[in-house]
Amino acid sequence: MSKSILDNTLDDIVDDQIYQCFKPTDPKSFYLFAGAGSGKTRTLVNVLSKFKNEFGSSYKLHNQKIAIITYTNAAADEIKHRLEFDSIFYVSTIHSFAWELIKTLTTDIKKWLVSDLNTSISELQEAQSKSRDLNNKTSVDRARKIESKQKRLINLEQISKFVYNPNGDNISKDSLNHTEVINITAYFIQSKNLMQNIIVSKFPIILIDESQDTKKELVDALFALQQNKKKCFSLGLFGDTMQRIYSDGKEDLGNNLPSEWVKPAKKMNHRSNKRIIKLINEIRKDVDGQEQIPRTEKTDGFVRLFIVDRTSAKLKVEEAIAEKMAAITKDSKWGSKNEEVMTLILEHHMAASRMNFFELFEPLYKVDKFKTSLLDGTLSHLNVFTKIVLPLVEAHRENDKFSIARIVKQHSMFLDKKSLEKEKDQFENIKLVNESVNKLLSLWNDDKDPKLIEILEVIKDSSLFPLHNILNIITSRTKEEKEKFKLQVNTDEEEEKFDDTIEALDTVLQTTFSQIENYSIYLSDKSAFTTHQGVKGLEYARVMVIIDDLEARGFMFSYDKLFGSKELTAGDKKNIDEGKETGIDRTKRLFYVACSRAKESLAIVAYTDNTAVVKENIEKYGWFHESEIEVL
**Residue 563 near residue 629, CB atoms below 8 Å:** no
Task: Name the 3-class secondary structure at 206.
Answer: strand
For residue range 51-65, what is the model confidence (pLDDT) as tens digits? Answer: 999 999 999 999 999
Q: Give yes or no for residue 492 having a pLDDT over 90.
A: no
For residue range 242-281, what is the model confidence (pLDDT) as tens digits? Answer: 776 665 555 666 667 888 999 998 999 999 999 999 999 9
Dihedral sign computed on CA atoms, order 238, 240, 241, 246:
negative
Closest among 599, 534, 543 to 213, alpha carbons compared:
534
CA–CA separation, 32 and 259 (whole Å): 15
| pLDDT at residue 3 in the model | 44
For residue range 159-207, what is the model confidence (pLDDT) as tens digits? Answer: 999 999 887 767 788 889 888 999 999 999 999 999 999 999 999 999 9
CA–CA separation, 533 and 543 (whole Å): 14
| pLDDT at residue 440 in the model | 95
DSSP state, residue 465: S
Q: Maximum Cα–Cα distance for the chain, whole Å? A: 82
- In DSSP notation, 500-566 reads HHHHHHHHHTTSBHHHHHHHHHHHTT-SSEEETGGGTT--EEEEEEEE-HHHH--SS--HHHHTTSS
| pLDDT at residue 437 in the model | 92
Q: Which residues contact 257 (CB under 8 A, 6 or more apart)?
A: 31, 263
Task: Name the 3-class secondary structure at 294.
Answer: strand
Q: How many CB atoms lie within 10 A of CB 493?
A: 4
Residue 238 has φ and ψ, to the nearest 5°, of -110, 125
Q: Mean pLDDT, to the nearest integer, of 487-498?
A: 48
CA–CA separation, 447 and 450 (whole Å): 9
Using pLDDT thresholds of 50, 70 and 90, give the confidence band for residue 423.
low
Dihedral sign computed on CA atoms, order 166, 171, 174, 180:
positive
Q: Give yes or no for residue 496 having a pLDDT over 70.
A: no
DSSP state, residue 131: -
CA–CA separation, 294 and 317 (whole Å): 32
CA–CA separation, 233 and 458 (whole Å): 53
Q: Which amino acid is at 187?
A: Y
- Please measure the distance between the N-terminal and C-terminal CA atoms of the chain and give it in whole angstroms: 39
Closest among 336, 467, 315 to 389, alpha carbons compared:
467
Q: Give yes or no for residue 339 having a pLDDT over 50.
A: yes
| pLDDT at residue 245 in the model | 63
Q: Mean pLDDT, to the nearest integer, of 86-105?
A: 93
**Residue 93 near residue 69, CB atoms below 8 Å:** yes
301: left (phi over 0), alpha (psi -120 to 50) or beta: left
CA–CA separation, 505 and 508 (whole Å): 5
Task: Name the 3-class secondary structure at 471.
Answer: helix
Closest among 544, 555, 553, 557 to 606, alpha carbons compared:
544
Work out whether strand 234-239 and strand 265-266 pair parallel, antiparallel, or are unpaired. Answer: unpaired
| pLDDT at residue 419 in the model | 56
The percent of residues in the chain predicted with pLDDT above 90, rounded, is 50
Dihedral sign computed on CA atoms, order 610, 613, 616, 618:
negative
Closest among 308, 74, 107 to 194, alpha carbons compared:
107
Q: How many CB atoms lie within 10 A of CB 510?
A: 12
Average pLDDT over the chain, rounded to an integer: 85
